[in-house]
Amino acid sequence: MAELTAFSFRTGNSLLHGLDARFKLVFLALISFAGLKAYLPGLFILTLALAAVMIHTRLSFLSVLKEIRYFLILLLFVFAARALSTPGVPVLEADILGKTMAVTGEGLYHGTLICWRLILTVLLGLLLVSSTRPSEIRAVMGWFLAPFPFIPEKRVATMIGLTVRFIPLILSQAKETSDAQRARGIENRKNPVYRLTKFAIPLMRRTFEDADKLVIAMEARCYTENRTEPELSSGRADWVALVGVVCLCILIVVG
């Protein structure tokens, strides 16, 4: 049984929970695009807005940091690569393996921009998943894809819905695998490749086994993609929120 994680849907009565899922997907696209075009002042404004929404939806900052800790490690490598590869005025120089490596001020600036934009995009997606039921996400994807010919919108929507449901399960299995390895003294192995291999292979095996079990269960129940989807309805609050999001995007880009 998967534990409740930051990437799981959480029931609530916040404004974000009550919005139409179609509008929330549009909000995600608009704010993500604005964030990718924003600079430090705009990113600061977006960060404050996301922090306020997370507090309103009662999403724990500590749980979020715990769930994305591996992504933060990846961002550190991205930041370091950007700081070392961007030409500019050197801030710090070091001789590594006979080659002079320089950290430039421009590299620090652009590395901060890229990492900040990426983490805000991840947080936006996390807010969408934690405030929207997987069945609603599936229905929304089918609704958006329906006008396009030659695209099996219900099949694609079902695949996306299953992917959203599997994310908490994979995270829970990763935690169980990590706990089991620590109980067996995996920290005594200093080789990072060995530790990564012993972690990734069992995790992938269990994930594929659970996927096979899910397929068998769906076939046994005569599952079909032609299902009655949740009703999607918009109201005044959705349109007011749309105006607010557009104003926020303009402020982010201009800021």
Indicate the domain borders of the chain: 1-132+235-255, 134-229
List beta partners, residue 92.
103
Lowest-confidence region among 8-12, 70-74, 147-151: 8-12
| Spatial CB neighbours of 40, under 8 Å, sequence gap ≥ 6 | 112, 113, 116
| Spatial CB neighbours of 150, under 8 Å, sequence gap ≥ 6 | none
Q: What value does the mean pLDDT of the chain take? A: 82
Lowest-confidence region among 5-14, 66-75, 149-158, 178-187: 5-14
Tell me the mean pLDDT in the region 235-247: 92
Task: Look at residue 2 in the predicted model and tell me its pLDDT.
Answer: 47
Task: Look at residue 246 in the predicted model and tell me its pLDDT.
Answer: 93
Checking if the pLDDT of 126 tops 50, the result is yes
Task: Look at residue 98 in the predicted model and tell me its pLDDT.
Answer: 61
- Cα distances from 50 to residues 7, 40, 54, 95, 241, in angstroms, run 16, 15, 6, 41, 14
Task: Look at residue 134 in the predicted model and tell me its pLDDT.
Answer: 81
Helices (H), the chain: 15-18, 21-37, 40-56, 61-67, 69-85, 105-131, 134-145, 153-183, 192-220, 236-254
User: CB atoms < 10 A from the CB of 145, how many?
Assistant: 16
The whole-angstrom separation of Cα 198 and Cα 194 is: 6
Task: Look at residue 5 in the predicted model and tell me its pLDDT.
Answer: 60
The whole-angstrom separation of Cα 110 and Cα 107 is: 5
Lowest-confidence region among 63-77, 144-158, 161-175, 198-212: 161-175
Q: What interhelical angle do 69-85 and 105-131 show, nearest 10?
A: 160
Tell me the mean pLDDT in the region 218-233: 76
- Measured distance between the N- and C-terminal CA atoms of the chain, rounded to whole angstroms: 45
- pLDDT band at residue 96, thresholds of 50, 70 and 90? low
Residue 59 exposed, middle or buried by CB count within 10 Å (0-12, 13-18, 19+): buried
**Contact predicate 107/88, CB 8 Å:** yes
Eight-class DSSP state of 151: -
Q: Which residue has the higher pLDDT, 196 or 42?
A: 42
Task: Look at residue 97 in the predicted model and tell me its pLDDT.
Answer: 58
Closest CA to 130 of 12, 13, 3, 10: 10
> Which percentage of the chain shows pLDDT scores above 70?
93
